[in-house]
A and B are shown apart, each in its own frame.
Chain A
């Protein structure tokens, strides 16, 4: 099998989807979509959550059947009724969730999926050899004899790619492959995709991150609400026009930020250390001041102490050493409730685990911290439903939250709408200090822009804001000052005017 794969002759020269329609009860997921991809190109599908990208690709991979339209391979009509048939036609797909037996090796996992092999010793050796050859060719750096559980997420994804190529995928669909990767791993992935493109593979890349799309694509097709908005070559594409096509209205990517009017020190950390969940000093001797009316961005690869930093300020993690003051008051080791009443608001990084109770309704989630306070409760006991409902309707209106009702369980809202509710709740307190951790991760561009505007408006009112984000674009767009964290320490502080992206990247990687 491996020999056939190593030639440059690909079975899929041209794949065409014509007039594809797919309906789900109450939703038109794909409406007359035309999509083509050629050997040797990366064609990107771009669109916000729910635009129909995955649905379209699942039809190509035989997981769904189109209600209308046809698929042609090299000009001939093809019917793909199952993933097996897709694989036979040379189509492979990398899902967001990987399917492996963790205790088995890479080669054994690949063998499991092959019809011809039952995992006999001989076969395994062959497979292992074939996989090594492919791994070298595409620079996947995968040892076929290592058990899956020892691999990081990014490596597991490369195993999925390796497996697909090994099975003879000439066309590879990658459904939001970068969602689970660190920036470094994204670079690795793109190198691999480039190699595959040169080798004549046809690649379909799905994402809603504009800079990635611009970096890897040859052509870009934009979907919105199931409809095809347009198809452009990468040469004509800019972040601006892509964002507008995606969202359907002009989008602000560069904010007009009024000059900094620094107030007094609102939040001060003095040589603070704290342990991470693993027990080591996740936060190591950090000193930091945030002034009223200022946004301090915290950049860094995730896992370098940012989460611990946010949690100690929010009162959710004990500190080992140092002091934290809010408005001059020492608050080290105070409870979350105390922090709240001092005017510290925290938008937590893992919003579905920490920020909301999934099963609670939108209204119930709005009163998470303040459920016992006036006016939501009388005497701290009876919940005041009319007041809660009114407040919730107001928040829905003010923050443009899309929800069928105030009584809808919040888990059925989209990520962006959930985040808007968290924001509404945290800003309603008129905070002195706002900690926003990854405020737009997994959030649509439209909602992200909205959230950014809100954070900037908060800056205008004189709140001290600590913005923690892995998204350098976000940090650069909003911050007055940027601090870089590496291995629990602050390794650099940069003023807005002096920002240099290369230097930031180097500091994030610990080179300084």
Chain B
């Protein structure tokens, strides 16, 4: 054991941490076992059911593409939730922030039209980020300066966002060519220059709905990873998230960090909304419920963030997993005839098992460190001193 220099681009990823994946995999396995019993109780063959699920999620290029399409907004939200959690704020407002972001993006897109050519895409994404960020920032501001519980405020802001969306889509933003109030409320279709291109890798995924939003999300995951662990901004966010008193002692403006984490978290969810508009639907439309637009990505992102170990890079596989679960569920439902709520149940099981396994990992880490210190003796400290040159 030595104090070693670690070439750390990806600080925090090493073999020991990879070993930590094992309990997660065991937890997943256990969740599927319990789910199997539920399926048997419903007179379905679990093997058939799960293979149908896997088929549905990854069985073809199109299935895989759909999985990734579903995973994209979840990933954005999960990155944002990760930032908030690290900053000690619990953000339940992903849904509302997604809507705010989508509204920001569509407004800017429709206003610009075709006049700026491809520049419209970065501008729209930026608008989505800012709109979502401000929406999240409100909750952060209320928490930091007026001690308003962020769980309550974000839930209420979700409601407000839905009402705002319904109002705008039935009025100012209503598609002038649409049939009016009887139809699904929706905006006009965005122009072709504003649409995120489809993502085809050589021949792969051509003729699917997969779009560049996924790439953007992955790049952002990496950026946020760097932000959190390689910059002073991330240092302050994490410091405040762990210990406000020590942060104050260190001269950090705690209130500002809380607003900032919520702004960034909202901004990420805002991007999720913007990307749904620019890459998938090419317009904003809703059936009047929040899930009508977000497909619950604002909530699924919370689970994916936890599942990804509150690490933006971990959120990538975690979101893919939940995308697969959602897409595969439809196939399973069709093939085996179990209710779709079964998927919600499996979701819940996974959360319970994974959270338990996280506790296990925590204990293991503690023990590991304890042993390392136990093995140390004064000789070791001596060696340390000599081995420095």
Contact = CB atoms under 8 A, between A and B. Distances in A.
A357 interface: yes
Contact of B242 (A357, A385, A400): A357
Contacts of A357: 239, 242-243, 246-247
A447 to B, nearest CB: 12
A336 B374 contact: no
B304 to A, nearest CB: 23
Contacts of B381: 400, 402
A405 B232 contact: no
A403 B381 CA distance: 9
Contact of B246 (A337, A354, A400): A354
Given A357-B242, A360-B242, A383-B231, A26 B371 contact: yes
A335 B251 contact: yes
B352 interface: no
Interface in B241-283: 242-243, 245-251
A280 to B, nearest CB: 21
Contact of B232 (A337, A380, A386, A389): A380
A364 interface: yes
Given A335-B251, A404-B372, A405-B3, A397 B232 contact: no
Interface residues of A, number: 49
A95 interface: no
B249 A26 contact: no
B251 A336 contact: yes
B366 interface: yes
Contact of B230 (A25, A359, A385, A404): A385
B1 interface: yes
Interface stretch (A35-43, A132-140, A406-414): A406-414
Interface stretch (A281-289, A320-328, A368-376): A368-376
A359 B247 CA distance: 13
Interface string A342-377: 000010100001111111100010011101100001
B363 interface: no
Interface stretch (B4-12, B38-46, B212-220): B4-12
Nearest to B380: A402
A65 interface: no
Interface residues of B, number: 40
A358 B373 contact: no
B147 interface: no
- Dominant secondary structure of chain A at its interface with chain B: loop
A319 to B, nearest CB: 16
B231 A382 contact: yes
A241 B149 CA distance: 57
Contact of B250 (A369, A393, A407): A369
Interface string A396-437: 110010111111110011100000000000000000000000
A397 B388 contact: yes
Nearest to B11: A385
A391 interface: no
Nearest to A407: B6
Contact of A381 (B232, B238, B372, B374): B232
Nearest to A359: B242
Most B-side CB within 10 Å, residue of A27, A369, A385: A385
A314 B249 contact: yes
B375 interface: yes
Contacts of B370: 26, 412
B246 A368 contact: yes
A316 interface: yes
Given A336-B251, A385-B8, A404 B1 contact: yes
Contacts of B250: 336, 368-369, 371
B32 interface: no
B156 interface: no
A337 B374 CA distance: 37
B25 interface: no
Given A383-B230, A393-B388, A404-B1, A412 B246 contact: no
A386 B8 CA distance: 9
Given A381-B233, A383-B235, A393-B3, A355 B371 contact: no
Given A357-B242, A368-B246, A381-B232, A26 B375 contact: yes
Contact of A397 (B8, B248, B384): B384
A413 B367 contact: no
B373 A412 contact: yes
Nearest to A25: B371
B249 A346 contact: yes
B388 to A, nearest CB: 6
A406 B249 CA distance: 22
Interface of B: 1-6, 8, 11, 230-233, 235-236, 238-239, 242-243, 245-251, 366-367, 369-376, 380-381, 384-385, 388
Given A360-B238, A386-B5, 4 more contacts: A27-B374, A400-B381, A405-B4, A412-B369
21 contacts: A24-B374, A26-B375, A335-B251, A336-B248, A336-B249, A337-B251, A340-B251, A348-B249, A353-B246, A354-B246, A357-B239, A359-B242, A360-B242, A368-B239, A377-B232, A381-B232, A382-B232, A389-B5, A405-B4, A412-B369, A414-B373
**6 A-B pairs closest in CB distance:** A337-B251, A26-B371, A404-B372, A412-B369, A27-B374, A368-B250
